[in-house]
């Protein structure tokens, strides 16, 4: 069984998570814009993982978005007051819950993104198999 690429996952996940942390903490972007960011980040992550021929794209992308969840949730926890000042309509929760939620969303988002990457990789493998 192939294993995920932890180095690639750490670099991609940290970059995605820190960019989102900056967008939410410093700019207070609307939730729709944050969703658009995650969608674009997912497409970029799929492209990078497939281009680098990661041995397990599905698992690598789950790991990417778990790491991203940590790197976005931890700064939001540390700067909790600023986060809620930017999003006053959100129900207030303890910082650890923000982090836990970010990691849980990372698992789900990573699984969805990983499934897309797996399907693309499988289609590529079928197409490149000699007849």
The pLDDT tens digits for 83-105 are 999 999 999 999 999 999 999 99
In whole numbers, what is the pLDDT of the chain averaged over residues? 92
pLDDT at 27: 94
pTM: 0.91
Q: Which two tokens stand for residue 42?
A: 């997912």
**DSSP character for 52?**
T
- From CA 57, how far away is CA 51, in angstroms rounded? 10
pLDDT of 129 strictly over 70: no
pLDDT at 125: 72
- From CA 70, how far away is CA 48, in angstroms rounded? 20
pLDDT at 97: 94
3-state secondary structure of 4: coil
**Nearby residues of 130 by Cβ (< 8 Å), 6 or more positions away:** none
Half-sphere exposure of 122 (CA within 13 A, CB side): 7
Half-sphere exposure of 128 (CA within 13 A, CB side): 6
pLDDT at 131: 56
In degrees to the nearest 10, what's the CA dihedral of 21, 26, 28, 31?
-20
pLDDT at 130: 61
């Amino acid at each position: 069984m192939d294993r995920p690429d932890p180095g690639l996952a750490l670099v991609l996940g940290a970059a995605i998570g820190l960019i989102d942390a900056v967008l939410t903490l410093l700019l207070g972007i609307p939730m729709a814009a944050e969703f658009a960011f995650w969608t674009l980040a997912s497409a970029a992550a799929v492209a990078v993982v497939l281009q680098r021929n990661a041995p397990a794209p599905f698992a690598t992308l789950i790991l990417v978005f778990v790491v991203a969840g940590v790197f976005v949730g931890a700064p939001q926890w540390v700067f909790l007051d600023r986060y809620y000042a930017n999003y006053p309509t959100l129900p207030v929760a303890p910082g650890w819950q923000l982090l836990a939620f970010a990691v849980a969303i990372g698992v789900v988002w990573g699984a969805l993104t990983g499934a897309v990457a797996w399907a693309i990789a499988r289609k590529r493998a079928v197409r490149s198999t000699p007849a």
